[in-house]
């Protein structure tokens, strides 16, 4: 029996979401069609949209812009808001982005810089992974008239560090600057209230909360009018054209309702499991360093460690062979091994950034899962360190013999 500790990458679909999904797949009708079948599909979709609206604390159903997932929502927010702001005021080229964003935001920002003339300002973070508010204040004081938008992740996908989004929003809005937050990891685990946060745009995704892959949303304030990335039939306030996924939306709504209703109790349960996991690792491997804030500003089920002296990939493969599923970080980097940009932004060395593992707990996680990990981890770490030493010694011998180190 495998132990699954990678819920931040994706989590199993809930019974309610699966039942809603499979039932809807047997029904016919394009929700943009005017005939009876199409309008019946539209009613089911709009009911689901309203349920998602309530789950995220939006004010009206029209604030829920359905997308294919978090990556599309992030792209639409950054590109669309940047283009709209530049069109209204060509001076606004600066985009403030934290250095610990998911690649869906980070890579989009880099594309805006290389292809669209944006000037990206990477907001620094402390060793705890929290955005430096003094740096934000300095940017706003010196360059407010040049800033197009700000984007800061709600809860980091690697460390679980939770950012002060409401404070950032009040600072940005004082200078008439829109703000986007990627809440893909936060939604379902933290209290996420779009209206109370006051952000202009917020990305969420179904498969992180027990819904299907391929459906998400950009929660978009009525005052925000981004330039569309996709053009076509004018669906979703003409912000995101395309035939709407009724089955995915209905399943998303079912998962969102379950997640919000169970959130308080489930977060408490996961926090307890996380405490057992982190205490057990500290006892068995004192050299391991737990990342993120030490004051509780973190996701309840996420724990990332630096395991010094070994490559994170080596440790991951050894744990995989022992039946443990975990991660070195984001699952959205197409299998490319590279040091964690999140840790580099937090001031860790490249060696440390290559020596990390993330354990993320979810609805199916149990105390037995934690105990199984703690049983096999010390030996796996010892073997991973030995493998690293052998690899380094082999490289040095090649170098000494005239080869390439």
- Measuring CA to CA, how many Å separate 167 from each of 46, 59, 154, 170, 401? 33, 20, 12, 5, 58
Half-sphere exposure of 125 (CA within 13 A, CB side): 29
Positive or negative, the CA dihedral 251, 256, 257, 263 is positive
Which helix (H) or strand (E) is 251 found in, with range? helix 246-284
Return the structure tokens found at 321.
């062979």
DSSP 39-104: HHHHHHHHHHHHHHHHHHT-SSGGGEEEESSHHHHHHHHHHHHHHHHHHH-TT--EEEEETT--HH
Q: Which of 19, 23, 332, 390 is catalytic?
A: 332
Return the structure tokens found at 226.
């981004």
Which residue is listed with tokens 């840790």?
343
Residues contacting 209, CB < 8 A, separation 6+:
11, 187, 188, 255, 256, 258, 259
DSSP assigned state of 266: H
Euclidean distance between CA atoms 336 and 141, whole angstroms: 39
Return the structure tokens found at 396.
């040095």
Residue 398: CB atoms within 10 Å: 12
Asked about 326 being catalytic, the answer comes back as: no
Instruction: Give catalytic residue positions.
Output: 332
């Amino acid at each position: 029996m495998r132990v699954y500790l990678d819920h931040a990458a994706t989590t199993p679909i809930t019974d309610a979401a699966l039942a809603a999904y499979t039932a809807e797949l047997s029904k016919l009708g394009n929700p943009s069609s005017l005939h009876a079948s199409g309008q019946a599909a539209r009613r089911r979709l709009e009911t689901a949209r309203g349920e998602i609206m309530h789950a995220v604390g939006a004010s009206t159903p029209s604030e829920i812009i359905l997308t294919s997932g978090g990556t599309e929502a992030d792209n639409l927010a950054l590109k669309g808001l940047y283009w709209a702001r530049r069109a209204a005021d060509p001076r606004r080229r600066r985009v403030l982005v934290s250095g610990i964003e998911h690649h869906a935001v980070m890579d989009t920002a880099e594309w805006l810089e290389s292809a669209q003339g944006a000037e990206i300002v990477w907001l620094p973070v402390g060793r705890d992974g929290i955005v430096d508010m003094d740096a934000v204040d300095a940017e706003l004081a010196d360059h407010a008239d040049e800033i197009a938008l700000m984007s800061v992740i709600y809860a980091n996908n690697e460390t679980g560090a939770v950012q002060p989004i409401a404070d950032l929003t009040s600072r940005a809005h004082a200078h008439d600057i829109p703000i986007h937050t990627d809440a893909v990891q936060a939604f379902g685990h933290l209290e996420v209230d779009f209206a109370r946060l006051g952000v202009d745009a917020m990305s969420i995704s179904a498969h992180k909360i027990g819904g299907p892959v391929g459906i998400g949303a950009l929660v978009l304030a009525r005052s925000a009018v981004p330039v569309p990335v996709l053009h076509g039939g004018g669906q979703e306030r003409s912000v995101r054209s395309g035939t709407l996924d009724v089955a995915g939306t209905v399943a998303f709504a079912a998962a969102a309702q379950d997640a919000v209703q169970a959130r308080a109790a489930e977060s408490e349960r996961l926090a307890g499991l996380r405490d057992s996991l982190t205490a057990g690792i500290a006892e068995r491997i004192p050299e391991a360093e737990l990342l993120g804030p030490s004051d509780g500003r973190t996701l309840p089920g996420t724990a990332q460690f630096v395991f010094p002296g070994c490559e994170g990939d080596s440790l991951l493969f050894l744990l995989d062979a022992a039946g443990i599923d975990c991660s070195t970080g984001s699952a959205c980097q197409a299998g490319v091994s590279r040091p964690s940009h999140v840790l580099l932004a937090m001031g860790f060395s490249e060696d440390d950034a290559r020596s990390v593992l993330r354990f993320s707990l979810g609805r199916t996680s149990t105390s037995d899962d934690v105990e199984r990990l703690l049983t096999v981890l010390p030996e796996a770490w010892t073997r991973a360190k030995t493998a690293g030493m052998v690899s380094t010694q082999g490289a040095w011998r090649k170098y000494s013999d005239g080869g390439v180190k």
